[in-house]
């Protein structure tokens, strides 16, 4: 049977675009549908604008710290409107780059929502196209839990990038990495931040030492973190929103007209027409095998809509592995072991491999932990009590490094290099035999005894 396209991609986020371009490079005829802006969550409502805001939030500390080094800093002020305009201008620039990349790759872009008519046919607005293979790459979206009364008064993490005015007071609901990052961003810009979480610690799923170190630092920097608060409600207040906390000790927190709900994301698969295919949905996500294949043999899925590991680089790697396998003659599958990740909090954190709890559960008493906690040289002259934490988890049976974790300046940049060693199966002896770069914080990873 003849089809309009060899591959049709639904969703032009990071994973979808990477797949489309790679397949086209192999000579496939590729189409892609996107009803929103090119680049998906990462470029438009996630990694890129968030990281730019992280940079902006650090300047208040830089101004203060520079005085210890002899600099005289005059009166400073922060202009939210100028910052948010600059951030969104950069997003617009990136959208144009993505369009040019797809055009240069001869990928046909359809600016509308794609929906399955049948397993080989996609409706895009009033048009219908057919494809031999179809890739679902529609990403995810934030949710407002309906278990919280008055949650409609809250905004989501997507909305923070479009606030016209900086909130003087902000309540953040949720202790995941998105909530933690925005708490630190807003705090650094001068907003009074309260973060409300259900458990006793932020960042569930990360190493416990990392979680404790970041939480303590956030509180030291002036963020109020309310723990073990499962019952909350939002109500209209006299000058904004009142957050009602119910429990042994009831409390009302007055916040501005905005309250950020950072309570998770779900796959964006509603109204996709999956019922017109044999594609299976399990726990709200597209079910796939090790090669990203669905129950419909010619339909595949990558990225957040599969709810495996919801990270931009993972979606890109999944998509490229799919294109290499089906259009490049290089059969390969995505490896989910030792994927590094970072939390752009203040202080920053990054990690690769197993947490201590995961390692002990898997290897028991064979685990040995190496820790180092110190004040980096940068903070000595300004006399600021900022600490860096580094941690290695080692299997004493093999001497293999199973996990590396860091909290401190440059954590993401440092762990990216360490991740290569961990991915290759480096041993503690390999780390010990590596000469450190002195003076640097990174050298601590090769000097821990």
Active-site hit among 58, 162, 221, 438: 438
Q: Alpha-carbon distance 413 to 422, whole Å?
A: 15
Please give the C-alpha separations between residue 431 and each of 181, 197, 393, in angstroms, as whole numbers: 31, 37, 12
What's the Cα-to-Cα distance from 169 to each of 76, 81, 85, 300, 306, rounded to whole Å? 20, 17, 21, 44, 36
Known catalytic residue at 58: no
8 A C-beta contact, residue 32 and residue 129: no
Q: How far apart are CA 323 and CA 314, in angstroms?
A: 14
User: Would you tell me how many other CB atoms lie within 10 Å of the CB of residue 151?
Assistant: 18
Q: Is the peptide bond before 362 cis (omega within 30 degrees of 0)?
A: no
Rounded to whole angstroms, how far apart are CA atoms 449 and 441?
15
Prior bond of 365 cis (ω within 30°): no
Strand pairing report for 169-173 and 192-196: parallel
Question: Nearest CA to 300 among 279, 281, 316?
Answer: 279
The string over 341-350, giving b where at least 16 C-beta atoms fall within 10 Å of a residue's C-beta and e elsewhere, is bbbbbbbbbb
By the 8 A CB rule, do 17 and 101 touch? yes
Residue 256's nearest CA partner among 243, 244, 241, 238 is 241
Identify the DSSP state of 408: S
Alpha-carbon distance 142 to 152, whole Å?
A: 13
> Could you give the residue numbers annotated as active site?
438
């Amino acid at each position: 049977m003849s089809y309009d396209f060899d591959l049709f991609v639904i969703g032009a986020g990071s994973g979808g675009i990477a797949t489309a371009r790679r397949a086209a490079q192999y000579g496939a005829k590729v189409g892609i549908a996107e009803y929103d802006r090119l680049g998906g969550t990462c470029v438009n409502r996630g990694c890129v604008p968030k990281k730019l805001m992280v940079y902006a939030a650090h300047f208040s500390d830089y101004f203060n710290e520079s005085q210890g080094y002899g600099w005289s800093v005059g009166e400073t002020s922060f202009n939210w409107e100028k910052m948010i305009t600059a951030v969104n201008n950069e997003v617009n620039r990136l959208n144009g780059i993505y369009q040019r990349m797809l055009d240069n790759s001869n990928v046909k872009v359809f600016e509308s929502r794609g929906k399955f008519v049948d397993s080989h046919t996609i409706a895009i607005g009033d048009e219908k196209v057919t494809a031999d293979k179809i890739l679902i790459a529609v990403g995810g979206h934030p949710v407002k839990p309906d278990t919280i009364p008055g949650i409609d008064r809250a905004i989501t993490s997507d909305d923070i990038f479009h606030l016209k005015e900086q909130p003087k007071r902000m309540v953040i609901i949720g202790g995941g990495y998105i909530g933690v990052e925005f708490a630190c961003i807003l705090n650094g810009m001068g907003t009074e931040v309260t973060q409300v979480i259900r458990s006793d610690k932020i960042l569930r799923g990360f190493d416990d030492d990392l979680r404790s170190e970041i939480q303590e630092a956030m509180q030291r920097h002036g963020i109020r973190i309310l723990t073990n608060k499962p019952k909350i409600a939002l109500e209209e207040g006299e000058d904004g929103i009142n957050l009602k906390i119910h429990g042994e000790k009831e409390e009302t927190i007055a916040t501005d007209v905005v309250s950020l709900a950072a309570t998770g994301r779900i796959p964006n698969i509603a109204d996709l027409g999956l019922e017109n295919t044999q594609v299976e949905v399990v726990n709200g996500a597209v079910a796939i095998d090790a090669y990203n294949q669905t129950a419909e043999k010619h339909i595949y899925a990558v990225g957040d809509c599969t709810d495996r590991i919801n990270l931009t680089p993972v979606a890109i790697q999944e998509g490229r592995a799919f294109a290499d396998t089906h259009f490049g003659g290089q059969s390969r599958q995505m490896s989910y072991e030792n994927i590094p990740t970072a939390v752009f909090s203040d202080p920053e954190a990054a990690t690769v491999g197993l947490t201590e709890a995961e390692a002990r559960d898997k290897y028991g008493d064979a685990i040995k932990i190496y820790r180092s906690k110190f004040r980096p040289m940068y903070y000595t002259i300004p006399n600021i009590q900022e600490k860096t934490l580094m941690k290695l988890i080692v299997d004493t049976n093999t001497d293999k490094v199973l996990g590396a974790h860091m909290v401190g300046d440059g954590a993401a940049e440092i762990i990216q290099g360490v991740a290569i060693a961990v991915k290759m199966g480096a041993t503690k002896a390999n780390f010990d035999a590596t000469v450190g770069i002195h003076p640097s914080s990174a050298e601590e990873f090769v000097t821990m005894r």
